[in-house]
């Protein structure tokens, strides 16, 4: 079996070993599954492992590679998918108790893309229920419970792609797929010390993914490096006729090559000079070290200040849109008579959305709640 160091290699390095036949996809998959079974429960990282699917895909990848059919840098690479992406025949829980047994008869487009390049799915990553809905107060608002940060299990991973962050940081998979509406890829990546890519809206199809805010939802990778994210993005990006929000065919694809000339345009690093009013000593020291490292590479450094302004009514509008987009899920809860089961703050959101649609009696405390623009506030 591979040594401990294998779990912290980049996708690019694993791909080199697999392509050269120095590393077996089946052996790598077995190693990741063993590690995931051992440490996954400690971090509440997985919604479920899928060893049957993993070994089927790994064996298929190994046979193809042995015959000289190498599909590219993700061929035989194990990964985890956030549990709001549909996988045919498997429960897709959206992190919420009412959907614990929800099963779709099709795959999300992202899953199809990863199947096409020969990636190996180890399992479904845990997540905050309903991707956070209209907000949540506690990290435990998840069907799997609070995701633990592998660097410090007394700390959270951030959400809503909480399991995806924990899986990559703990070396339970080579990469993971997360989603973001407002920070759900970038935040777990930052908290867990991994690299995340939140693609521009429309670059990756959302077909087969739970919708939170259809005009803001994005799907992207969490991995060990920017190069890894580029390789994964190249596999999942592109136009999809099943998602009318994706960019046109001629603009949708992304191609990555290590030989890409980065000096064609000067590389710039953005540095905010007024991002924080105060910092804890440990954070301040890390920030100072980071800045010193940047100054060694970039001799000319100019920072910029972040303009102060208020979201004001925009934030309220976003909240109202969130309720609007959430109503179909709430309707489903009402029709199944499971309105009492969501965890934490999202339970109240379900109740309010259902009540507003006239589908339920007024929940406790809502009888005198004012309305604005047709939504409870």
Which residues belong to the active site? 82, 160, 184
Q: Phi, psi (5° rounding) for residue 103?
A: -130, 135
Residue 288, CA atoms < 13 Å, CB-side half-sphere: 7
Residue 264, CA atoms < 13 Å, CB-side half-sphere: 4
CA-nearest of 180, 187, 134, 173 to 34 is 173
Three-state DSSP state, 296: helix
Strands in 195-196's sheet, in edge-to-edge order, are 46-49, 120-125, 78-82, 175-180, 218-223, 195-196
CA-nearest of 191, 193, 189 to 179 is 189
* SS3 assignment for 321-353: HHHHHHHHHHHHHHHCCCCCCCCCHHHHHHHHH
Following DSSP, what letter does each residue of 157-217 receive, concatenated?
--SSSHHHHHHHHTTSSSEEEEEESSSTTHHHHHHHT-EE--PPTTSB--TTB--S-TTT-
Compute CA 278 distance to the chain's CA centroid, rounded to the nearest angstrom: 30
User: For residue 91, what are the β-bridge partners?
Assistant: 103
Distances (CA, A) of 341 to 128, 170, 333: 15, 31, 9
Q: Which residues contact 121 (CB under 8 A, 6 or more apart)?
A: 50, 53, 54, 57, 78, 79, 80, 81, 87, 111, 114
């Amino acid at each position: 079996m591979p040594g401990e160091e294998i779990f912290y290699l980049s996708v690019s390095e694993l791909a080199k070993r697999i392509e050269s036949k120095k590393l077996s996809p089946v052996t790598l998959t077995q190693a990741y599954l063993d590690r995931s079974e051992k440490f996954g429960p400690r971090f509440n990282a997985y919604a479920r492992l899928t060893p049957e699917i993993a070994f089927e895909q790994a064996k298929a990848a190994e046979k193809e590679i042995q015959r000289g059919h190498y599909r590219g840098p993700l061929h035989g690479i194990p990964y985890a998918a956030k549990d709001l992406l549909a996988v045919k025949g498997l429960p897709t829980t959206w992190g919420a108790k009412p959907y614990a047994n929800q099963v779709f008869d099709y795959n999300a487009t992202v899953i199809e893309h990863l199947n096409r390049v020969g990636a190996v799915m180890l399992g479904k990553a845990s997540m905050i229920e309903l991707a956070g809905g209209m907000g949540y107060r506690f990290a435990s608002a998840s069907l799997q419970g609070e995701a633990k940060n592998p660097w410090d299990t007394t700390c959270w991973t951030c959400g809503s792609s909480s399991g995806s962050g924990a899986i990559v940081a703990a070396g339970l998979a080579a990469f993971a797929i997360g989603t973001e509406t407002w920070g759900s890829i970038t935040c777990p990546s930052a908290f867990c010390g991994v690299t995340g890519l939140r693609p521009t809206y429309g670059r990756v199809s959302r077909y087969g993914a739970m919708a939170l805010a259809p005009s803001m939802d994005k799907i992207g990778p969490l991995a060990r490096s920017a190069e890894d994210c580029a390789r994964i993005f190249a596999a999942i990006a592109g136009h999809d006729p099943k998602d009318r929000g994706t960019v046109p065919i001629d603009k949708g694809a992304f191609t990555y090559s290590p030989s890409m000339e980065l000096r064609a345009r000067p590389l710039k690093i953005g540095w905010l000079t007024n991002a924080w009013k105060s910092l804890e000593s440990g954070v301040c020291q890390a920030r100072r070290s980071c800045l010193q490292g940047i100054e060694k590479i970039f001799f000319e450094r100019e920072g910029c200040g972040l303009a102060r302004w208020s979201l004001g009514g925009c934030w309220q509008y976003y909240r109202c849109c969130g309720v609007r987009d959430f109503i179909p899920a709430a309707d489903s809860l009402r029709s199944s008579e499971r309105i009492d089961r969501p965890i934490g703050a999202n339970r109240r959101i379900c109740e309010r959305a259902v009540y507003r649609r006239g589908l339920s009696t007024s929940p406790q405390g809502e009888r005198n709640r004012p309305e604005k623009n047709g939504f409870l506030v």
